[in-house]
Amino acid sequence: MLPFRLIMAEAVFPGSFDPVTHGHIDIITRAASIFDSVTVAILNHPDKVGFFTVPERMAMLEEQVREISPHVRVDCFSGLLVDYLAARKARVIIRGLRAISDYDYEVQMALMNKSLREDIETVFLVAREANSFISSSIVRQVATLGGDISKFVPKNVVQAVLNKIAVKK
Ligand code: PNS
């Protein structure tokens, strides 16, 4: 049961989510307890092939957000993030901050987005300590090398990663 939401506005949580991890789920859950609605927006990169296709990533995320709140939806976007927000009449970007190494890149993005659209605010949620070393890329690497990823990603994602590795071999 989530506590009552504090801010009557939509927040957009953008990312690659290739694949979604427990770290992402925690940020989505916490954002959903603050904002009226949360849209998890997967970047559909025009010239970068992901580990999972965008529809595969959307399906995995949808299975997860169903358990969080009916106020969370999953979408994808291409082009500038600020244009996507403008189209949704949204003003808030959510990003998770893990270690200090995230800081440079995240501040650069937040400042760029603000200079592209003054009314945009980026809200950072600090990752829980337990999730502070988890990233999609490290999870993919560990799984590809035969390591157990079940502590880092939801159950449906573990199986999907293993299936994908088998197909790619
Ligand atoms: O999960 P990621 O890969 O760290 O997410 C990065 C993402 C998708 C948030 C970022 O690359 C992005 O917003 N891309 C859209 C293009 C854009 O708006 N670029 C200018 C602002 S940096």
Give mean pLDDT in consecutive 10-residue pieces for the chain, a chain of 169 residues: 76 98 98 96 93 98 96 98 97 96 96 98 96 97 98 97 93
Does 16 contact ligand 1 (Cβ within 6 A)? yes
CATH 3.40.50.620 fits 7-134, yes or no: yes
Domain boundaries, the chain: 7-134
Rounded CA separation 77/75 (Å): 7
Query: Would residue 136 show up in a list of annotated catalytic residues for this protein?
Result: yes
Query: Would residue 48 show up in a list of annotated catalytic residues for this protein?
Result: yes
Ligand 1: residue of 16, 51, 76 to mutate (most ligand atoms within 8 A of CB) is 16
Q: Which two tokens stand for residue 77?
A: 């976007």
- Whole-prediction pTM: 0.96
Residue identifier of the C-alpha nearest atom 8 of ligand 1: 15
* pLDDT reported for residue 101: 87
* pLDDT reported for residue 78: 97
Residue positions counted in the chain: 169
Q: Which two tokens stand for residue 135?
A: 């990233």
